[in-house]
Structures are given as structure tokens and as C-alpha cells.
């Protein structure tokens, strides 16, 4: 068994509008994101199933030509390999679960998040 406390997990400044904390387990990745209003996560895809849970604020996922707005309490599942992007409508805190673990993040291949966000 492993125990974690978000207050002990390092905060990474991904770009001027996005910070991330990450916990990797053998089977999944858990990330806590803080995103400023106007931030954009560019379209990307990954082989992991993703579940996004919004704790505060609001954002919009763009998936396959459709938009899905999430506000506090909202949860969205993104199937593996489905291209998606995110636009942040209000300062937002979200927790994302990925299964299996994000091998790309583990090896540092997360440039799409490190690019400067653009304001919509």
C-alpha cells in the first residue's frame, strides 16, 4: 500500500497558465491540474483511458467535433486514442485519472502541455 498527500507532491509549472502535480502508480497516473481562465490544452491523443473530474471552475473538452462543458462536480471519460483538446472557461482545478500509467509523462514526453497556452 502507498499513501500520498497532495501537499507533498511537487508542483510543475507546465506553462504560464497551467500547473500540474502527478502521482504515478504501476497501473495508473493521477494528476491534479490548476488551469487559468483562457488556457488551452492543444489537441492530443494517448493510448490511456482518461477520467477528468472538475473540482472547481469550468472547462470545455472538444472531442470528435463535439463540445462537453464540465463544471464543479462534472466527470468525463475520454476513451483511449481519441483526439481531444480543452479550453478553460473559468479558473479551474481538475483531477485526471489515466489507465494504464502515462508512460509518455514518465519519460518526460509532455511538450504539448509545456507550450504556452493561448487565450481564446
Query: Looking at residue 59, which CATH number applies to its domain?
Result: 2.60.120.10
Position 120 scores a pLDDT of 38
- Determine, yes or no, domain membership for 101: yes
- Domain residues for the domain of 18 are 11-112
> Alpha carbon of 4 to those of 16, 24, 87: distances in Å?
26, 11, 29
- pLDDT > 70: percent of the chain: 96
Q: What is the mean pLDDT of residues 20-33?
A: 98
Mean pLDDT of the chain: 94
Position 116 scores a pLDDT of 56
Alpha carbon distance 73, 36 (integer Å):
18
Report the candidate in 112, 36, 43, 104 with the shortest Cα–Cα distance to residue 78: 43
pLDDT tens by residue, 75-99:
999 999 999 999 999 999 999 999 9
Number of domains, the chain: 1
Burial of 103 from C-beta contacts in 10 A (0-12 / 13-18 / 19+): middle
Position 104 scores a pLDDT of 93
Amino acid at each position: 500500500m502507498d499513501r500520498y498527500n497532495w501537499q507533498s507532491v511537487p508542483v510543475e509549472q507546465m506553462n504560464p497558465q497551467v500547473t500540474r502535480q502527478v502521482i504515478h502508480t504501476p497501473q495508473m497516473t493521477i494528476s491534479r491540474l490548476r488551469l487559468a481562465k483562457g488556457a488551452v490544452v492543444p489537441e492530443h491523443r494517448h493510448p490511456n483511458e482518461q477520467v477528468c473530474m472538475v473540482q472547481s471552475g469550468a472547462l470545455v473538452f472538444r472531442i470528435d467535433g463535439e463540445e462537453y462543458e464540465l463544471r464543479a462536480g462534472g466527470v468525463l471519460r475520454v476513451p483511449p486514442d481519441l483526439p481531444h483538446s480543452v479550453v478553460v472557461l473559468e479558473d479551474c482545478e481538475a483531477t485526471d485519472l489515466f489507465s494504464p500509467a502515462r508512460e509518455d509523462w514518465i519519460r518526460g514526453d509532455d511538450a504539448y502541455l509545456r507550450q504556452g497556452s493561448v487565450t481564446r
